[in-house]
Amino acid sequence: MSTSAEASAPRNNEPRNNEPREDEPREAGPPKERKGHRSDLKPVWCPGCGDYGVIAGLGQAIDVLGYESHRIVFVSGICCSSRLPYFFNTYGFHTIHGRAASVALGVKMGNPDMRVILVGGDGDFFSIGTNHFIHTARRNLDVLAICMDNSIYGLTKGQLSPTSGTDFVTGSSPYGSVEPPLNSLALAITAGATFVAQSYSANIKHLKQTLIEAERHPGFSFVNVISPCLTFNKAKSFAYYKKRVSVTEEEARTDRAEALSIVMSRDEQSVLGTFLQIHQPTFDAAQASMAKAAAEDRGVPSMEELIESFA
Amino acid sequence: MSTSAEASAPRNNEPRNNEPREDEPREAGPPKERKGHRSDLKPVWCPGCGDYGVIAGLGQAIDVLGYESHRIVFVSGICCSSRLPYFFNTYGFHTIHGRAASVALGVKMGNPDMRVILVGGDGDFFSIGTNHFIHTARRNLDVLAICMDNSIYGLTKGQLSPTSGTDFVTGSSPYGSVEPPLNSLALAITAGATFVAQSYSANIKHLKQTLIEAERHPGFSFVNVISPCLTFNKAKSFAYYKKRVSVTEEEARTDRAEALSIVMSRDEQSVLGTFLQIHQPTFDAAQASMAKAAAEDRGVPSMEELIESFA
Amino acid sequence: MSKRDTRYVCLRIAGEGGEGVISAGELLTQVAARLGMHVATFKTFPSEIRGGMAVYQLRTGPDRVLSQGDYLDILVAFNREGYDRNIADMTSEGVLVHDFEPGDNLPVKRRGGVDYHVPMGKLAREAGSHRAKNMVALGAICELFGFPVEGLTEGVRLKFGKKSEKVVEVNLKAIDLGAEYVRENHEIRHELHFSEGDGHARVVLSGNDAVAFGAVAAGCRFYAGYPITPATEIMEYLARELPRVSGRMVQAEDEIASIAMCIGASFTGQKSMTATSGPGLALMSEALGLASMAEVGLVLVDVQRAGPSTGMPTKAEQGDLNLAIYGAHSTAHRVVIAPVDVEDCFYQTVNAFNIAAKYQIPVIVLSEQSLGFSKASMPRPDFENLDVFEEQYARMPTDGDPWPKVDELTVGEGYPMTPVFPRYLRNDTGISPRSIPGMPGMEFRATGLEHDEFARPRYDPPNRKAMLNKRQAKFEEVRREYGEQVEVIGDDEAEVAITGWGTTAAVIRHAVTRALNDGASVKAIFPKILSPMPDMAMRHHLHGVKRVICCELNDTGQYANIIRHRYGANVHAVLKDRGVPFAPGEITPYIEMAIKAQVRI
Amino acid sequence: MSKRDTRYVCLRIAGEGGEGVISAGELLTQVAARLGMHVATFKTFPSEIRGGMAVYQLRTGPDRVLSQGDYLDILVAFNREGYDRNIADMTSEGVLVHDFEPGDNLPVKRRGGVDYHVPMGKLAREAGSHRAKNMVALGAICELFGFPVEGLTEGVRLKFGKKSEKVVEVNLKAIDLGAEYVRENHEIRHELHFSEGDGHARVVLSGNDAVAFGAVAAGCRFYAGYPITPATEIMEYLARELPRVSGRMVQAEDEIASIAMCIGASFTGQKSMTATSGPGLALMSEALGLASMAEVGLVLVDVQRAGPSTGMPTKAEQGDLNLAIYGAHSTAHRVVIAPVDVEDCFYQTVNAFNIAAKYQIPVIVLSEQSLGFSKASMPRPDFENLDVFEEQYARMPTDGDPWPKVDELTVGEGYPMTPVFPRYLRNDTGISPRSIPGMPGMEFRATGLEHDEFARPRYDPPNRKAMLNKRQAKFEEVRREYGEQVEVIGDDEAEVAITGWGTTAAVIRHAVTRALNDGASVKAIFPKILSPMPDMAMRHHLHGVKRVICCELNDTGQYANIIRHRYGANVHAVLKDRGVPFAPGEITPYIEMAIKAQVRI
Ligand SMILES: Cc1ncc(C[n+]2csc(CCOP(=O)(O)OP(=O)(O)O)c2C)c(N)n1
Ligand SMILES: Cc1ncc(C[n+]2csc(CCOP(=O)(O)OP(=O)(O)O)c2C)c(N)n1
Ligand code: SF4
Ligand code: SF4
Ligand SMILES: [Mg+2]
Ligand SMILES: [Mg+2]
């Protein structure tokens, strides 16, 4: 361990770049043949699991985006879907159930140069993790959040998820659920996400294109990917969705209320497309501006200067 | 301690009434002169705190509703506003920060005959407590939830709240907040509340009337009460609101998307009124129906019968 | 070394996930219990959702099966991998029943024992389905080891009868073919034989079943929980059965909500429970403190799994004792109970509810992955005589019988006496009268703030002291009531004692029973409740003991440290933390060394 | 009994909230420190937002002020209630300065001492504002006890100069009037006198200030937190100062998010911190386990307050030690440090960051309400020579210098060696090389699952054992590096030792210093780190000790239990849990009893 590598990471205490990053759509890098930075580990998912489609679409999107592997950080919670970071040879963090959004915020604050991709399942995002999802979206943190929605708890072998919906029979709702479903697209729009879309793990072309656009969007981008669980959610299989899924031709709205009225109509639940895209300052940029202004107004103090406020 | 009281509480193991309660608006009881069941304890709030108005309006509403004191359960979290249960001589539970909604759900499941009123501040409801708020609203639990919104953390002496909004200067945002505000009315509508209104602690008449209607509504009723904190939020004082508050004449919507488009327009932030009222099965009723059906289908088992599934 | 008790047989079935290993094992277990055999089981399945090895093991005998023992007597391997991965666990004299050509160059060669080849796959297809491989194996087992085939066929009818006649037929055929194949092709070259049942039909439950069922028996009518391995089955059972008895089961949005819901329901007088595993218990720490402070009873089951953090969710560890006892800011009393086996899971859960209701205190039941998942036979409980505590609520005062006076001294200046209900009344036991919402005239405000006897917030030192003492008094009452409940086996005068808790206690029992048979002077001590520790009895039994062995499945000796600081005992901690339970043979040497005074303390 | 050291003066100001009690006290403190006096303070304010008594106390002397001592020497009472509520804390010879007619029938009568009446309210109005009452009091204090009035007027100018010239004028006038009134109306009838400063100007910080400032000095560039009494000031300081040094401060939505954000930022190489109190620490238990397992360093400050549950949020308690050490499912290593006074808060925070970064481990700093809120003087730190650890990250291998080989044995079958970065490489120290996002060629996936050296999930026993040992080795390295850092004062050969931690250690120091002056044979032992305990040094210092007194502010003896089980020591626990700190005089009798072998162990 001797020769130093060209590291683009900031060293300890090296000041962060406080120049507010331009909040403009990112340009694509040169499309490189990298096979999406896949790692040597084989996914442990059941054969036919929808999440294989997600990994494929994501790999292709990353190829197009041309990001280098050391500039990507996957952050996930705990669930079947959250295993995803292992299957890419990028930086990754398989954290704990429900808290990935907050870890992602820390990563992004720690090194705003990283491309942070947050992944998880419907329970991880919208049951135990709802609070962090909402407040991270509200802040418009510049990350891409991908929910692999199978309307069931896969890893714990088939219980009700917030997106399952009324009358749904699972291990924990043997007489059918009495809980109305949570509309994750609507929640993301209300909470403050600035890019909200839905895709489908069996439509890899659409998925790839959606992920590319979502990732290029500066701010909190949420993509709900319908990703069936063959093992524990027989009701919502690929066959079920095949008949129901359609791709919208409409443009993304720039008004939240309009976007909401689209995603709240029941029929729209299986529509693929981008429903909202707005440009608002990102948390990263706003924090950087604030730090810059504070340093300019009050000066960058030495420790000797700082202690004088206690004299 | 010998003579038994006429207790309407279910005894241990006495089966709950599984007859699904009618999900129709409740009739008012005879208006009694009870001074709103106020207790001997004097509120510890700062002189002029908006919460005094809330307690007044609430007391008047309870008088009109005519509920007996032993049938009311106030459940609160931790904050200035959450002190409210002490000031009523009803059952009450001053719980912990952010978890009151879940305690309220337990209370309601434990004894569906109780009128449960959930109270708290903007931080208690929408920062640490957001997840529980959302899922309790989604289930349409039959409780009244009152947020005393002062856009600040009062009890901890003046930090940013999720409802404070961008550029707001507080102890924890000395350079002005970089976080856009959370729209609690929109969040409640999206999450699944079936009655959503806003009122103002200085308009006791409106407040009282709104609380009466909200309480009579079967299902999750959310009332956001603008309730200024004189001590730590000088920016949003009564004077500030005086100019901005208006009462809408419009009827409550029965469509979520429509209601959302109203509460999402910025100007509507200080509009008082009821924005949404829908009738949907309550969690309480749905649970009772489920229990009834299960008992009918599969029988009410004795322990001797139950153990045979392990034979 | 004690001689193997040959009346006990330990059999393991091993195969691919999906080959019916688990269902064959469960059927065998069920039938054995029905016939009155004693049986205990153990299973593992791959931690990923699909693929990998499935293993089912059962041990039976004429009397209570204390543990899984040390070695397999019989290995039924559905394939080569089943052999390779399990053969190391078998004694050299063990019996192998297999479906592969042993001619293959086996990496592990046996140095003795008897082999029987049974072409399970082939016979299954003959019987009508490749999925009946497991039934062929069962037929062979009946024939080889004298397991009553009628019981088995009866079992198949009961299990699959409702499903389809066709399935029953195929399965019975497969059993026949398996038995027939053995009869025609093999001469019995071993002595092993299942012992007969005693005719007392027993039931078979897993630890999770026993907890869930015990809750219903104890009067639990509210459950809130969030799925987590290995506790989820408890929720799933109660989701099915609670509604039938007018109870409510709510799947909460997370663990914090789960316990908060239970606190709410308990506040209204419903007996409430939640179940989780380590990560969930950690999340519940704050709300548990509220239950202690507001004096709201509830039962929290922690089916422990290997940590830290997400760790190894499908592996065994007893790593949550510290968290259960000490996981609170400040002193938040909670009772901690750890059942030692499946039957104990039932009775300790009932116990837990009784304590929670009587003492208005949270009770943590520490189960464990290997206990939650293993099934064992137990006699049907005597429900008539089951001790279920029914709470007496407070009653409205009358002229002749007013509410007890609260202590004027601690009420103090600025806090006038009022005629409101003294919810936190101080008295000798610390157990205050309780009212529940709906009872008129006895309204009060429960609170997590320090408070006076009228439940009003109060921070002054005299009141603080009084209320701390009150809560402590209650805890001491639990200690007194359960202070004698320490199980002791062995030689009362022994200088060497061995102790442990939870599932490890069961294994220690096994090891000590053997050692006693060999004439060793040792005693085993198991407290029934781990907090409050039954100090009186423990001190009594530790009196005169020179060396104490503490065994547990964690790497810091959480329990051993308690024994050290409470009793100043000379403790040698025997710790294991690889995700697998102890075997009795791992404990025996330490007993021997302690007797020879060779352990390092 | 040791004679009072009259060079130290303890003065208390008491009045209504809103009367400027706190600001007068703080001004006096600041000026005293500037003049080179040593000063330590203590304040309480009503726990409700408004109303009630405010109290500010300061103790000064010619050398380091060890604690607040036992009694007041001077009480400045702005009104009758200020007298009634505080007079009991004053020695009978104490000096009272007051603004009420003592003719009133006082409920508590003094049996000695000297009284001076000063019409503060009246003089304040004369000076131009009723709000200048506190300045009148300060003027009187200068005159009565020889506090340098020039220093004070200078202080007023510095403090209010920017605000308005008018305010300065009124305040100076009020000071004058106060002094003049004393001069003209009172004859000095007491001996008490402030000792002079040594001319070394010091700074004045609260414990919370010192932690926050220490974090900046240690290189902290990310803070996430959620407001909670009594820790909020730490966040508020960092909100102001971190952005100036390119750091980031985020107010999270709750405590779980706070620590998760810190974990994320630390993962990228930023030194990160969060601060909270008991309820928040409880909520963070699960995520703390992730930091341990994924080996991500961070600093967590817990400013303890009285519990359980919400308890008494503005009162003192040392009740979170158990939670800090044991609050985890399974073994989740974390380092626990408890500073003893304000200056220590600064240095231990720097220490905490160094350990967190070097050992890639979470570090908990246990502060406490009465420490967080009290201000004390301290010399300016020598920043040039401050020991701040800078992490060296891993470097890409070259031909001549490849990545260290991982142990083939533990990699095992089915888990091929790969050329990926061995993030969790095992070695002697347990400290693995680390890369951070942005460094090419060294990508890895951090994880809370059990994993191998390449960070791949693994559940098999050999790997489990290896990784448990690796994490434990790291913890033992901390123990080794800090193993000598035990503060010992007193008689090395003493049979009686006294020990404690955090704020109580400071009070014990005071009591022991007195006892030693009286010639007693006693020693005080304070470990600098509470987990891992510095066993070597502790054993060494406890050697030959027959009786150990452990003092702490909780009712179960959390620290005492550790001393018992780790060292088998004969411990007598002296516990206090009424929401108020120890006074040295409360400890002295136990030292005396222990020396006479009268304590019950
Ligand atoms: C604190 C905590 N609670 C519960 C669990 C158990 N758990 C793991 S994944 C999961 C939910 C899985 O469902 P989902 O998020 O929809 O993802 P999927 O497996 O379907 O991809 C749960 C409840 C846990 N690991 N940690
Ligand atoms: C777990 C936990 N975290 C933090 C706190 C501290 N705390 C008490 S109240 C409060 C927020 C108060 O603000 P809000 O909810 O808006 O109510 P208000 O006081 O303004 O009425 C906080 C952060 C706590 N008591 N418990
Ligand atoms: S259980 Fe479902 S979600 Fe999990 S891997 Fe299998 S198919 Fe996929
Ligand atoms: S601090 Fe604000 S919210 Fe709290 S009591 Fe005072 S005015 Fe009301
Ligand atoms: Mg899912
Ligand atoms: Mg507020």
Residue C215 near chain B (CB below 8 Å): no
HEC sequence for D434-461: CCCCCCCCCCCEEECECECCCCCECCCH
Cα-to-centroid distance, B49 and ligand 6 (Å): 11
Average pLDDT over residues C279-305: 98
Residue C360 is which amino acid? Q
C:415-434 residues touching chain B, CB 8 A cutoff: 416, 418, 420, 433
Which pLDDT belongs to residue D601?
Answer: 72
Structure tokens at A208: 């790839």
CB contact under 8 Å between C286 and D290, yes or no, is no
Distance from CA of B277 to the nearest CA of A (A): 16
pLDDT tens by residue, C198-208 = 989 999 999 99
Of D241, D252, D267, the CB nearest to A102: D252
Does residue C313 or residue A18 have the better pLDDT?
Answer: C313
Instruction: Check: CB of residue C280 under 8 Å from CB of residue B125.
Output: no
**Mean pLDDT value across chain C:** 93
Report which ligand 3 atom has the smallest distance to the Cα of A150. Answer: 3
CB contact under 8 Å between A283 and B191, yes or no, is no
Report the alpha-carbon distance of residue D81 to residue D19 in Å, rounded.
Answer: 13
Instruction: Check: CB of residue D45 under 8 Å from CB of residue D106.
Output: no
- From the CA of B79, the nearest ligand is 2
Report the share of chain C in percent with pLDDT over 70.
95
Average pLDDT over residues B5-19: 46
Would you say residue B12 has pLDDT above 60?
no
Cα-to-centroid distance, B183 and ligand 2 (Å): 19
Would you say residue A16 has pLDDT above 70?
no
Report the alpha-carbon distance of residue A120 to residue C212 in Å, rounded.
Answer: 31
- Nearest one of D138, D140, D147 to D39, comparing CA atoms: D147
Burial C487-506 (b: 16+ CB within 10 A, else e): eeebbeebebbbbbbbbbbb
Which pLDDT belongs to residue B9?
Answer: 40
Interface with D, mutate which of C277, C330, C413 (most D CBs under 10 A): C330
| Predicted confidence band of residue C413 (pLDDT cuts 50, 70, 90) | low
The architecture that CATH gives domain D204-385 is 3-Layer(aba) Sandwich (3.40)
Lowest mean pLDDT segment, chosen from B33-42, B149-158, D123-132, D474-483: B33-42
pLDDT tens by residue, B280-298 = 999 999 999 999 999 999 9
Lowest mean pLDDT segment, chosen from C34-48, C73-87, D499-513: C34-48
Lowest mean pLDDT segment, chosen from B36-45, C342-351, C366-375: B36-45
Q: Which residues surround ligand 5, an ion (CB under 5 A)?
A: A 121-122, 150
Would you say residue B14 has pLDDT above 60?
no
Residue of chain D whose Cα is closest to the Cα of A129: D257
Does residue B42 or residue D379 have the better pLDDT?
Answer: D379
Would you say residue D377 has pLDDT above 90?
yes
Of B156, B162, B173, the CB nearest to D229: B156
Does residue B34 or residue C564 have the better pLDDT?
Answer: C564
Residue D326 near chain A (CB below 8 Å): no
Does residue B269 or residue D576 have the better pLDDT?
Answer: D576
Would you say residue C10 has pLDDT above 80?
yes
pLDDT tens by residue, A177-236 = 999 999 999 999 999 999 999 999 999 999 999 999 999 999 999 999 999 999 999 999
Kindly tell me the burial class for residue B76, based on how many C-beta atoms sit within 10 Å of its own C-beta (0-12, 13-18, 19 or more).
buried
Of B127, B179, B190, the CB nearest to A190: B190
Structure tokens at C196: 């007969």
User: What DSSP element (H or E) covers B243?
Assistant: helix B238-244
Contacts of B47 in chain D (CB under 8 A): 50
HEC sequence for D406-421: CCHHHHCCCCCCCCCC
Structure tokens at D336: 């626990």
- From the CA of D329, the nearest ligand is 1
Report the share of chain D in percent with pLDDT over 90.
82
- From the CA of B120, the nearest ligand is 2
Among B201, B231, B236, which residue has the most ligand 4 atoms within 8 Å of its CB, making it the best to mutate?
B231
**DSSP labels, C117-182:** E--HHHHHHHHT-GGGHHHHHHHHHHHHHT--HHHHHHHHHHHHTTT-HHHHHHHHHHHHHHHHHH
Chain Cα centroid distance, residue D467: 35
Distance from CA of B163 to the nearest CA of D (A): 12
Contacts of C562 in chain D (CB under 8 A): 565
Which pLDDT belongs to residue C411?
Answer: 63
Lowest mean pLDDT segment, chosen from A90-94, C91-95, C242-246: C91-95
Does residue A35 or residue D25 have the better pLDDT?
Answer: D25
Average pLDDT over residues B295-308: 97
Would you say residue A24 has pLDDT above 80?
no
Which pLDDT belongs to residue A42?
Answer: 87
Residue C468 near chain B (CB below 8 Å): no
Which pLDDT belongs to residue A17?
Answer: 60
Of A156, A171, A174, the CB nearest to C228: A156
Residue of chain B whose Cα is closest to the Cα of C274: B106
Would you say residue A2 has pLDDT above 70?
no
Report which ligand 1 atom has the smallest distance to the Cα of A123. Answer: 15
Average pLDDT over residues B99-124: 98
**Mean pLDDT value across chain D:** 93
Average pLDDT over residues C450-471: 93
Put the strands of the sheet holding D298-304 in their side by side order.
D248-251, D220-225, D271-276, D298-304, D362-368, D335-337, D529-531
Which pLDDT belongs to residue C363?
Answer: 98
Residue D380 near chain A (CB below 8 Å): yes
pLDDT tens by residue, D260-303 = 999 999 999 999 999 999 999 999 999 999 999 999 999 999 99
Reduced to 3 states (helix: H, G, I; strand: E, B; else coil), residue D525 is: strand
CB within 8 Å of A300: residues ≥ 6 apart: D244, D245, D246
Which pLDDT belongs to residue D411?
Answer: 63
Domain span(s) for CATH 3.40.50.920 in chain D? 488-595
Report the alpha-carbon distance of residue B278 to residue C249 in Å, rounded.
Answer: 26
Residue of chain C whose Cα is closest to the Cα of D290: C309
Would you say residue D105 has pLDDT above 70?
no
Residue C246 near chain B (CB below 8 Å): yes
Would you say residue C415 has pLDDT above 70?
no
User: What DSSP element (H or E) covers A130?
Assistant: helix A130-139
Domain span(s) for CATH 3.40.920.10 in chain C? 9-185
Interface with B, mutate which of A178, A254, A279, A282 (most B CBs under 10 A): A178
Report the alpha-carbon distance of residue C184 to residue D545 in Å, rounded.
Answer: 79
Q: What ipTM does this complex have?
A: 0.96
pLDDT tens by residue, C46-84 = 554 455 688 999 999 999 999 999 999 999 999 988 888
Which pLDDT belongs to residue B10?
Answer: 40
Structure tokens at A62: 């990353």
| Predicted confidence band of residue A52 (pLDDT cuts 50, 70, 90) | very high
pLDDT tens by residue, C125-147 = 999 999 999 999 999 999 999 99
pLDDT tens by residue, D158-169 = 998 888 899 999
Average pLDDT over residues C350-369: 98
Q: Is the CB of B213 under 6 A from ligand 2?
A: no
- Residue bearing the CA closest to ligand 3, atom 4: A154
A:125-144 residues touching chain C, CB 8 A cutoff: 127-128, 130
Instruction: Check: CB of residue B94 under 8 Å from CB of residue C449.
Output: yes
Chain B neighbours, 3+ Cβ pairs < 8 A: A, C, D
Q: Is the CB of B148 under 6 A from ligand 4?
A: no
Among B46, B81, B124, which residue has the most ligand 2 atoms within 8 Å of its CB, making it the best to mutate?
B124
Structure tokens at C360: 């208005």
- The class (CATH top level) of D488-595 is alpha beta
Lowest mean pLDDT segment, chosen from A56-60, B2-6, D201-205, D426-430: B2-6
Cα-to-centroid distance, A229 and ligand 3 (Å): 5
Contacts of C256 in chain D (CB under 8 A): 283
Report the alpha-carbon distance of residue B156 to residue D303 in Å, rounded.
Answer: 14
Domain span(s) for CATH 3.40.50.970 in chain D? 204-385
CB contact under 8 Å between A231 and C228, yes or no, is no
- From the CA of B77, the nearest ligand is 2
Q: Indicate if the alpha-carbon torsion angle C281, C284, C290, C296 is positive or negative.
A: negative
Average pLDDT over residues C273-288: 98
Cα-to-centroid distance, A171 and ligand 5 (Å): 14
Which pLDDT belongs to residue C416?
Answer: 66
Q: Which residues surround ligand 6, an ion (CB under 5 A)?
A: B 121-122, 150
pLDDT tens by residue, B186-220 = 999 999 999 999 999 999 999 999 999 999 999 99
**Domain D9-185, CATH among 3.40.920.10, 3.90.1150.10, 2.120.10.30, 3.40.50.300:** 3.40.920.10
Instruction: Check: CB of residue A129 under 8 Å from CB of residue A121.
Output: no
Q: How many CA atoms lie within 13 A of C577 on its CB side?
A: 27
